[in-house]
Amino acid sequence: DIKKDVEYGQYNGLPRQDQAMQKWRENRFGQFIHWGLYAIPGGIWEGKTYPYASEFLRGSAKIATSTWDSLIYQFDIPKYNPKEWAAIAKNMGVKYVTITTKHHEGFCLWPSEYTDFDIENTPYKKDLLREFVDAYTAVGIDVNFYYSVLDWHHPDWRYDIKSDEDRAAFERLKQFTKNQLVELVTRYPEVKGLWFDGTWDNSWKKSGQFSYELEKLLKNKRPGLIVNSRMRADEHGSRHFDSNGILMGDYESGYERRLPNPTDKEVLTRDWECCMTIPENQWGYHKDWSISHVKSPLELIEMLVQCTSQNGNFLLNFGPMGNGDIRPEEREVAKEIGEWMKVNSEAIYGCGPADLEKQDWGYYTYNEKNGKVYMTVFNNPVLGKYKIRLPKSHTLKKASLITKQVESLEIKQISPTDYFIIPDKINNKKPFVIILEIVDRA
Ligand code: FHN
């Protein structure tokens, strides 16, 4: 039901069913990379540790813009090895990556024609983004660009527009934004999607028509381009969803460091992505991870499986160091997730919701193409039996381990709709996957 006139809302039919979007959906697991000048101080300034997100250190430690900006002369990244980064990502099992081409600080990882505050003016000088795109593309990982519209470096950025002067400045900022985005999709035609951020200020919320036209322009230049819901506000200032509740962009990107309730049915109706940090709230590199809980690989795997079971993608963040290295803790996380994925990724890639009642042992995922239902077990019932409830017209024919350790597991029907799977022997130190063959008698 349309309540309000919205001219600058959604214009694609959703969910998008073109090849690029189908690929995005099948990928399910991505790596987020936050890298910029903030990686150099890594959350510590003049000997003091600031526990808030390291990419906000400039504000937390009240550092003058000129001081912060001069970090550019220290961006010398001797350990930067994009091929190694790509190998780590590939081994972890991600199918796409999203890298901060420009975060709120305004520093650009590529040599931009429109600013001097970029990689060209660092000691590194070279186009690290090109090297990055090449390395990830070579191993078959789709590359997306994160871009913050909010820009602490740019003199024309305004939080709000309250005067003619603000308006004129923000018009220039809009032109700059457009130029940079066109530059990005032109210089790096491999790019699959744009991930907008820093779009919550009034100035941008008042630019509904502009962001609408910009989305169209970028998609015309790069057909198939995928844009997150954060890019847009409509002309009434509604973000993510327009004033009539219709999603803008191609998928919802509001799940940040949180997941939907596992029984939420509404999220099943659209594409969405959850982005997640390994520590509590650090996107950029922070030297001291003892300041908050650091999620274990198992916690992260559970999030990935939950997202898949609810039609969402999982984007796991890495914050490379100021010297270009990947910190040991992140290498370890990547390695452990990768080991799990090597055995179980069939339950993730190309999978989505199974439309079965959730049980306490974990999550169902379903692959439409092969008709298989996967149950990934995270919690072992003391009973030692895993309960399954099917719709009345369905029958459970077979249950087997993804590892093929045993040919099939014992099934006991306990009611017209309910079954127990009674495994004989399972190595359950890690979450494991049972494949179900279900027959629809209807
Ligand atoms: O402020 C940023 C933050 O640094 C990080 O980039 C996240 C990623 O989703 N987005 C913003 C907060 O919403």
Q: Which atom of ligand 1 is nearest to the CA of 200?
A: 13
The DSSP letter of residue 223 is: T
Whose Cα sits closest to atom 6 in ligand 1? 283
Q: Is the bond into 353 cis (omega within 30 degrees of 0)?
A: no
SS3 390: coil
Q: H-helix or E-strand containing 48?
A: strand 48-49
Matching CATH number, 362-440, of 3.10.290.10, 3.30.70.520, 2.60.40.1180, 3.40.50.300: 2.60.40.1180
The pLDDT value given to residue 429: 82
Q: How far is the CA of 412 from the centre of ligand 1 (A)?
A: 48
CA 215 to chain centre: 19
User: In angstroms, rounded to a whole number, what is the distance separating the alpha carbons of residues 113 and 122?
Assistant: 15
Q: What is the pLDDT of residues 93-142, one digit of tens each?
A: 999 999 999 999 999 999 999 999 999 999 999 999 999 999 999 999 99
pLDDT of 427 > 90? The answer is: no
Q: Which atom of ligand 1 is nearest to the CA of 317?
A: 8
Question: What does the alpha-carbon distance between residue 225 and residue 346 come to, in Å, rounded to a whole number?
Answer: 26
Q: Which fold, 19-347?
A: TIM Barrel (3.20.20)
Taking only the tens place, the pLDDT of each residue in 291-301 is: 999 999 999 99
CB 285 within 8 A of CB 251: no
Q: How far is the CA of 368 from the centre of ligand 1 (A)?
A: 33
Mean pLDDT, rounded, for 311-315: 99
Distance (Å, whole) CA 188 – CA 190? 5
Neighbours of 270 (CB within 10 A): 16
Per-residue pLDDT, averaged over 262-283, amounts to 98
Task: Give the separation between CA 428 and CA 441, rounded to whole angstroms.
Answer: 33
Predicted TM-score (pTM) of this structure: 0.98
CA 188, distance to chain mean position in Å, is 20
Q: What is the pLDDT of residue 442?
A: 74
Q: Is pLDDT above 90 for 425?
A: no
Band of residue 407 on the pLDDT scale cut at 50, 70, 90 = confident
Report the pLDDT value the prediction gives residue 2, as an integer from 0 to 100: 67
- 355 CA distance to ligand 1 centroid (A)? 32
Among 432, 441, 383, 440, smallest CA distance to 412 is for 383
**Start and end residues for every CATH 3.20.20.80 domain found in the chain:** 19-347
Q: What is the pLDDT of residue 162?
A: 97
Decide the pairing of beta strands 29-33 and 96-102: parallel
Q: Which residues line ligand 1 (CB under 6 A)?
A: 53, 55, 197, 256, 275, 283
Quickly state the pLDDT bin for 262 (edges 50, 70, 90).
Answer: very high
Strands 252-256 and 272-276: parallel
> What is the chain's mean pLDDT, rounded?
96
In tens, the pLDDT along 60-83 reads 999 999 999 999 999 999 999 999
What is the per-residue pLDDT for 1? Answer: 63
Q: What is the pLDDT of residue 44?
A: 98
Tokens of 38: 């903030």
- Beta strands 142-148 and 193-197, pairing class: parallel
What does the pLDDT average to over 413-439? 90
Closest C-alpha to ligand 1, atom 10: 197
Cα 197 to middle of ligand 1, angstroms: 7
The rounded distance, in Å, linking the Cα atoms of 271 and 273 is 7
The rounded distance, in Å, linking the Cα atoms of 265 and 279 is 28
Structure confidence at residue 30 (pLDDT) = 99
In this predicted structure, the answer to whether residue 368 has a pLDDT above a threshold of 70 is yes
Residue with CA nearest ligand 1 atom 5: 283
Mean pLDDT score, 255-281: 98
Mean pLDDT of 234-239: 96
Residue 423 is predicted with a pLDDT of 83
| pLDDT at residue 382, rounded to an integer | 87
Decide which of 287 and 382 is more confident: 287
- With tokens 């066109």, the residue in question is 182
Distance CA 421, CA 320 (A): 44
Provide the β-strand partners of residue 99.
33, 145
Beta bridge partners of 362: 377
Average pLDDT (185-199) is 98
346 pLDDT above the threshold of 70: yes
Q: Which of 283, 313, 316 to mutate to test the pocket of ligand 1 (most atoms within 8 A of CB)?
A: 283
Looking at residue 404, what is its pLDDT? 83
The DSSP code sequence of 298-346 is: HHHHHHHHHHHHTTEEEEEEE---TTSPPPHHHHHHHHHHHHHHHHHGG
Given ligand 1 and candidates 256, 272, 276, 286, which is best to mutate, with the most ligand atoms within 8 Å of its CB? 256
Q: How far is the CA of 332 from the centre of ligand 1 (A)?
A: 24
Q: With 80 as the cut, is the pLDDT of residue 288 above it?
A: yes
- How many C-beta atoms lie closer than 10 Å to residue 293's C-beta? 10
Ranges of CATH 2.60.40.1180 domains, the chain: 362-440
Spatial CB neighbours of 76, under 8 Å, sequence gap ≥ 6: 122, 123, 124, 323
Distance (angstroms) between ligand 1 centre and the Cα of 354 equals 31
d(CA 320, CA 128): 13
- Around Cβ 77, how many Cβ atoms within 10 Å? 22
Residue 415 has pLDDT above 80, yes or no: yes
pLDDT at position 314 is: 99
Q: By alpha-carbon position, which residue is closest to atom 9 of ligand 1? A: 256
Three-state secondary structure call for residue 186 = helix
